[in-house]
Amino acid sequence: MIKQTRLAGEVPTLNLPVDHPRPAVQGYHGSSMPFSLSGKSTERLKQLAREEKTTLFGLLVTVFQILLHRYTGQDDIWIGIPASTSRYRPEFANLVGYLINPVVFRGSLDPVTKPSFRGQLTRTGQIIGEAINHSAYPFPLLVRDLQPHRDSSHTPLFQVMVDFQPGSSALLERKMTDLTTSALAFPQMEGQFDLTLSVSQGETISGHFRYNTDLFERGTIERMAGHFQVLLIAIVDNPAQSIGFLPMLTDAEIRQLRAWNETDRDYPKDRTLVDLFEEQVHRGPDNVALVFDNQEISYRELNIRVNRLAGRLRTLGVGPEVLVGLLAERSVEMVAGLLAILKAGGAYVPLDPEYPKERLAFMAEDAALEVLLCHGATRARLPKCSARVLDMESAATTDSESSENPARAAGPNNLAYVIYTSGSTGEPKGCANEHGGILNRILWMQEEYRLAPEDVVVQKTPFGFDVSVWEFLWPLISGARLVVARPDGHKDPDYLADLIDTHKVSVLHFVPSMLSAFLEGIGDRRCPSLRDIICSGEALAPALRKRFFDTLDARLHNLYGPTEAAIDVSYWQCRGDDSLATVPIGRPIANTQLHILDPGGTPVPVGVSGELHIGGVGVARGYLNRPELTAEKFIPDPFRDEPGARLYRSGDLCRRLPDGNIEFLGRMDNQIKLRGFRIELGEIEAVSNRHPAVRETVVVIRDLEERQQLVAYITLDKEHSISDPEFELKDYLAEKLPDYMVPDAFVVLEQLPMNRNGKIDRKALPKPNVAAMKGDHIDPPRDNVEFRLVRIWEKLFAISPMGVRDNFFTIGGDSLLAIRLLAGIEREFGVRLPLHLLFQEGTVEQLAGILRRDNFTPPAWSPLVCLQPQGREPPLFFVHPSGGSAFNYYEIAALMGTGQPFYALQPRGIEPGEPFHESVEEMAIDYAAAVRDAQPEGAILLGGWSFGGTVAFEIARILERSGVTVSFVMMIDPPTPFVDSRGVEDDIEFLMERVPFYHGVSFDGWESQASREAQVMYLLKAIKVSGLLSQDLDDAHARHWLNLYKHHNKLVDLYKPSGPIDGKIIVFKPSEEIPFDVKMGDPMDWSGFTRAGVEVKKAPGNHFTMVSPVNTPVLVEKMKGYLQGEIRYD
């Protein structure tokens, strides 16, 4: 069967570039665009068909296939062809009706060899013949047999059709006895498919492109019809030409593309930025050039400092093409050092002191640094290297040097800086940029945005990010004032707003994700001095554009460019009334050309995506010491006659809009193929960002047990409530996107992780909950024991089917649900397993292995649960909070990593029937013994959340009295040791004091319950709905949890520390304040109970949400920082 040969395998979807988002349900609104060929062209095509021993129909289908390939980049293209072979069967000969059966033609183009048209024509003819031979096979049965992924936004199997009517006009245009007939063109009213090529053959070839108007604008189809005709003429002229290089653009389009790249400006070509800075010093020597903290430095003072340091550098051999490292925090020294290196004729290499020393050492070695500048704040971060180190704060460094301007050493073609960016090999690569390119970029910026002496620009971008280059140099060559933000100040919206208002800042740069955080963080402040905000580094979302104009009265500019092309190469000014679905990156800047090319290096038409190639004076020299990578990414420029002209292959997917502006579609590697569909992740992100409750979205594809699924990471707008983000967003996206583009899982984050340059760090996105990714892949039970266990799990989780390798906790289990699971196992097998066993043996497969043992004896109760046994570091022992268990620390243990062993302590009484501890002291005695059994030697590391912090303190006292060293007690928002011993006894008051702040649930209606017990159960039910407790937890277990929770709170009310400990106390306090925090008291109250002092650090959340899926990752990073001895305290 054909379905087993030619049509076997994955069924692709044709992804034509559309003008409008594809509706979730296909519409059938249509129109048509006519075209016709001249008689001469028609005859030449017929002659070519005869020469190649094929039909005109086969030739036209081949050209159409090539057109679709060039438009989509796809090599596997399925086209529908209407066939009426059933008409010729005897039983249908006299039947009146529409006996057309669509035949699927599968065109395949070799993506490697890109055959000639003649070779492709031969191949197409063979495939058409095979398809026609099977044309009697009913199309519905073919769909049934192939079982494509069904989607209401597409027709199955194919989305385009070719309808060829040989000689139809001749048949119609004939005379009858008293009647003359003729063909009448009728406009297309329905778009059954995305696109249909309908061709008629008479004396000339004519036809229509019928299209779905829900997807395409008429201008797009008009251009497509033109491209089809250009291809037809091209294959007649040269049928031996490779299909990837056949011309497709019309002459008018070629002229237009050239016009959009006519960006010549007559900027001085013999100058450098040093020259322009010195001219500015001459024009306004006493004007303030630089502000940092309370320091103000004039242009004259800055120039003198720079000249002296440049002189010292020259005595050390710094000159043209010499690389000098600059290891500096944001400071006056950073600015002076950068300028001094340039004045000495060298090129600076920024070394961010926040980078790991290993990375700094690699950069220093790779760049072969001869000199490295540092200052007092960064001396301790010096990497191992052979460079001569100069401390810029040392008077001995520059006192003997001249204050006069040194003679210029470097010219426009010399290196200005080398910035290291991440590399696919795992090691950073240095991008080398010349003076001429950066000078062009900054002169264009001055021409476009016009800084004046009264302007103030903030330098806040980390200087390892190329945006910092214009932040440093643009104001200083324009006579404006440069205000340098304090180190890490760029992360603090309140600090930035104060800086803006204090210094009347007029121009500022933001990466979009940082702009979002800034707008949210400044509240009602309006920063009236701001005139221009420059955005670059990431795609700017329309929702953020709108929020900007709703918040600030300033201009917003979207710039685009890679480090490999002198910062920015295109620009777009946003407007508050923009209704565009995306924010364009605009047009090329001065002396820059932007070409969007297909894989063969041929310009693509307007609207068609391709890789952006950048040409012009800003193109970097290449990658330092990476000649092969340089040759791969920097290629000869075929569009310019200038010797040595090159293009940089950006790897960015873009397309031109009809007005010449460019739309950024994402990285080439952000384009994925899932279940036969090619998907641009940026499209999903853009649609999700339009939801009023969504602030930002990042979509990635995750591997799950040999399958791939889409995961969306979102942050929410706090001004718009959304009760169930996953449910609502899936519903929302299902209305706007095909179902294969709707993410399988949604992960809500407080904020998206960002790297030091303020860009979203996709590698740092947390793994989603496996339950959300579970899909339909299971490992079925293999024997009766596994089968009986699976039945228990399926009932417990209300998930069916369940696999034997699904981990209890990663699919949503918690300690209370675990109690029900173990009770179910006891009823089914007559064996009672301890709760802590579930942490080590958390799958059906593992538990079945235990139950199969004839001599299995449940181990005795132990408070200690090993959540993470691996690693050589001293283990951490963390005590449960009130009513809690080891489960509360499951995510903390996982995030601490395999290098850090982690034990959790859990109470008696968590399982029904066990007696509660009667005091904190009794609990601590049990726990101390368990800790010492687990770690007989060495200093002990203790911690706990809330009540657990208090118990951990008492454990430390007990251990120290027995001669054991306790290094520290790490407390997560513990209660004050001076608690007033007036615990809340009333169940309702107890619940209302705590749980609303944990989950934000609404308790409306509880007062209308018939009795107090009914009110309590109503509140417990609300808690279950909120997710704190499992929804199917029965009333008895919910009551047991409440009793344990209250009992632990009573114990802490009764506890009074009897003396101090020798170990340090580290307290993590929540950044959010709620009424409950008053009861927790001042963490410094603990200072009287430790001889080593108390240190306090803020962590996100409130008392109840500090340890939660949203905030735990940040808390763990702060904990790890302390353990590594590198945490910085506010």
CA pair distance 670, 765, nearest whole angstrom: 15
Supply the pTM of this predicted model.
Answer: 0.65
pLDDT at position 768 is: 66
Give the residue among 749, 754, 773 at the shortest CA–CA distance from 694.
749
Is residue 168 domain-shared with residue 315, that is, in the same domain? no
Asked whether residue 234 falls in the same domain as residue 272, the answer is no
Average of per-residue pLDDT across 1081-1110? 87
pLDDT tens per residue, range 353-406: 877 777 788 899 999 999 999 998 888 888 888 899 999 988 666 777 888 999
Query: How does the average pLDDT of the chain come out, rounded?
Result: 84
Q: Is residue 90 part of a domain?
A: yes
Give the HSE-up count for residue 638: Cα atoms under 13 Å, Cβ half-sphere. Answer: 7
Q: Is there a domain that residue 755 lies in?
A: no
* Chain length of the chain: 1130
Domain around 244: 2-172+184-248
Q: Could you say which of 1007, 1025, 1054 is where a domain stops?
A: 1054
Would you state the pLDDT for residue 189?
55
Q: How far apart are the first and last CA of the chain?
A: 72
Residue 331 sits in a domain whose CATH number is 3.40.50.980
Q: Kindly state the percentage of the chain with pLDDT values over 70.
A: 82
Domain boundary among 1032, 1054, 1076: 1054
Same domain, 286 and 244: no
Give the pLDDT score at 1015. 76
628 Cβ contact partners less than 8 Å away, ≥ 6 residues apart: none
pLDDT tens for each residue of 570-606: 999 999 888 888 899 999 999 999 999 998 899 999 9
Structural domain total, the chain: 4
Q: How far is CA 801 from CA 660, 786, 808, in A?
A: 53, 13, 14
At 512, which helix (H) or strand (E)? Answer: helix 512-521
Q: Is 38 helix (H, G, I), strand (E, B) or coil?
A: coil
Most confident of 683-697, 758-772, 800-814: 683-697
Residue of higher predicted confidence among 55 and 675: 55
> What pLDDT is recorded for position 507?
97
Verify that 972 and 1074 share a domain, yes or no: yes
Same domain, 108 and 46: yes
Crossing angle of helices 56-72 and 117-133, rounded to 10°: 110
**592 near 614, Cβ under 8 Å?**
yes
Strand partners, 586: 662
Residues 143, 212 within the same domain: yes
User: How far is Cα 11 from Cα 683, in angstroms, rounded to an integer?
Assistant: 22
29 vs 165: CA distance, rounded Å: 23
- What pLDDT, on the 0 to 100 scale, is given for residue 790? 82
Which range is least confidently modeled, 636-645, 695-704, 874-883, 898-907? 695-704
Return contacts of 143-146, CB within 8 angstroms, 24+ apart: 145/1, 145/3, 146/3, 146/7, 146/11
Residue 556 lies in a domain: no
667 or 456: which leads in pLDDT: 456
pLDDT at 710: 83
Please state, for a pLDDT cut of 90, what percent of the chain lies above it: 44
Look up the CATH number of the domain holding residue 904.
3.40.50.1820
Same domain, 79 and 216: yes
Is 793 a domain residue? no
Higher per-residue pLDDT: 418 or 909: 418
Mean pLDDT of 504-526: 86
Identify whether residues 300 and 421 lie together within a single domain: yes
Strand-by-strand arrangement of the 694-704 sheet: 694-704, 707-716, 745-748
Q: Is residue 960 part of a domain?
A: yes
Q: Which of 105-114, 126-135, 435-444, 732-741 has the lowest mean pLDDT?
A: 732-741
CB 418 within 8 A of CB 347: yes
Residue 670, pLDDT score = 63
- 752-785 tens-digit pLDDT: 887 655 778 887 787 765 444 444 446 667 667 7
Average pLDDT over residues 268-297: 93
- Which of these three, 417, 432, 447, is where a domain ends? 432
- Given a cut of 80, whether residue 22 has pLDDT beyond it is yes
**Do 213 and 337 reside in the same domain of the chain?**
no
Are 1036 and 1082 part of one and the same domain?
A: no
Helices (H), 935-1060: 947-961, 987-999, 1012-1026, 1035-1054
Same domain, 292 and 388: yes
**Is 98 within the bounds of a domain?**
yes
- How would DSSP label each residue in 610-675? EEEEEEETT---EETT-HHHHHHHEEE-TT--STT-EEEEEEEEEEE-TTS-EEEEEEGGGEEEET
What is the per-residue pLDDT for 684?
84
Q: Mean of the pLDDT values across residues 722-733?
A: 80
Task: Say which residue the tokens 């499992």 belong to.
Answer: 1030
Q: Which two tokens stand for residue 246?
A: 């056949």
pLDDT, residue 355, reads 77
CA 831 to CA 733: how far, in whole Å?
A: 47
Which CATH number goes with the domain that contains 239? Answer: 3.30.559.30
- Side chain identity at residue 1077, one-letter code: D
Structure tokens at 718: 């706090």
Task: Identify whether residues 122 and 158 lie together within a single domain.
Answer: yes
In a domain, 284, yes or no: yes
As given in the structure block, the two tokens for residue 485 are 């933000």
Model confidence over 971-1005: pLDDT tens digits?
999 998 886 545 566 777 777 676 655 544 555 56
The Cα–Cα gap between 261 and 760 comes to 31
